[in-house]
Amino acid sequence: MSIDPIQARPRLSLKDHKSDLINVERRLLLRGGLSLGAVSLLSGCSISDNEGIERALGAISRFNDRVQAVLFSGTRLAPTYTAAEITPDFPFNAYYPESKVRVIDGATWKLALAGRIADKTPWTLDALRTLPQESQITRHICVEGWSAIGQWAGVPFRTFLERIGADTKAAYVGFTCGDDYRSSIDMATALHPQTILALDYAGAPLPPKYGFPVKLRIPTKLGFKNPKHIMAITVTNDHPGGYWEDQGYNWFSGS
Ligand SMILES: Nc1nc2c(c(=O)[nH]1)N[C@H]1C(S)=C(S)[C@@H](COP(=O)(O)O)O[C@H]1N2
Ligand SMILES: [Mo]
């Protein structure tokens, strides 16, 4: 990548990359009303190929993560709703169809712990049920363009992290799931009072489609950052990424 120091605008070789650029231009507009010219100025890159565009977008997305992290309030609450406002037939979503939902055996399941955690003893479902539980009625917002209100209950994640002796000064918490999904969040969001290790949906144990045995419910983040079927939790300073995050979705993705 190079920037033209005199003209300070991208060297576009439209001849070779016209259709790529049209696609990218469309993606930029969808993501944030940016044009190719704006991206090249913001990133200091000349945008002449797809690889360059990906790099420029990555740089902007990481900048955007830092801005969102600074703006995130650890105490400001997401809106809550009444029971009457709960969406009937809450949608299912995953990177596969509902017929492929993983059915995990709750009797043998154990939550594995790794990284910067003092007590890495795995947790059973029964043991999680002995911890304090909280219930919330909040809105789940999916990047695919739908949102729905549901009721989840479980252990406040802060309570859990404190209980296991997690290093709450670490930067990230990463999740790996029973369906090979992965996601990760910043520590401020992990400690937010509405972030819960959810065991129940609508007053009953999570059904498989909503993430049995446990999902992390985070009403301050977009749906894809609410991992279902959690198998392992890692507290770390190394950026863990995630299934959609690694494909270019903005990592912070506050909602
Ligand atoms: N394990 C796992 N968690 C996941 C996903 C997934 O495919 N696998 N999809 C995410 C996305 S994109 C959304 S919108 C929500 C959907 O949750 P729901 O099925 O309870 O509506 O789960 C999120 N968590
Ligand atoms: Mo989603």
CATH number, domain containing residue 230: 3.90.420.10
Ligand 1 atom at minimum distance from 92 CA: 19
Residue 162 lies in a domain: yes
Q: Band of the pLDDT at 167, cuts 50, 70, 90?
A: very high
- Structure-token pair, residue 217: 């419910």
Distance in angstroms (rounded) separating the CA atoms of residues 163 and 154:
15
Q: 91 CB under 6 A from ligand 1?
A: yes
Which amino acid, 144? E
Ligand 1 atom at minimum distance from 96 CA: 7
Residue 202 lies in a domain: yes
Q: Same structural domain for residues 33 and 146?
A: no
Q: What average pLDDT does the segment 88-116 reach?
A: 98
Q: What average pLDDT does the segment 60-75 reach?
A: 90
Percent of the chain topping pLDDT 90 = 73
Residue 4 reports pLDDT greater than 70: no
The average confidence (pLDDT) of the chain is 89
Cα 239 to its chain centre, rounded Å, is 13
Q: Same structural domain for residues 97 and 18?
A: no
Answer for the pair 250, 64: CB distance below 8 angstroms, yes or no.
Answer: yes
Residue 170 phi/psi, 5-degree rounding, is: -65, 160
Q: Same structural domain for residues 38 and 153?
A: no
The protein residue with its alpha carbon nearest to ligand 1, atom 15, reads 223
Answer for the pair 212, 196: CB distance below 8 angstroms, yes or no.
Answer: no
Q: Which domain holds residue 239?
A: 83-247
Q: Band of the pLDDT at 33, cuts 50, 70, 90?
A: low
Residue 2 reports pLDDT greater than 60: no
- Quick one: pLDDT at residue 9? 41
- Among the bound ligands, the one closest to the CA of 144: 2
Residue 10 reports pLDDT greater than 70: no
Pairing relation of β-strands 112-115 and 230-236?
Answer: parallel
Answer for the pair 11, 36: CB distance below 8 angstroms, yes or no.
Answer: no
Q: 210 CB under 6 A from ligand 1?
A: yes
Answer for the pair 62, 250: CB distance below 8 angstroms, yes or no.
Answer: no
Residue 45 lies in a domain: yes
For 54, 147, 192, the CA distances from 219, given in Å and listed in that order, are: 29, 11, 10
Answer for the pair 175, 189: CB distance below 8 angstroms, yes or no.
Answer: no
Q: What average pLDDT does the segment 119-144 reach?
A: 97
Beta bridge partners of 197: 155, 216
Answer for the pair 83, 138: CB distance below 8 angstroms, yes or no.
Answer: no
Ligand 2 center–CA 151 separation, angstroms? 17
- Give how many domains the chain has, as a whole number: 2
Q: 186 CB under 6 A from ligand 1?
A: no
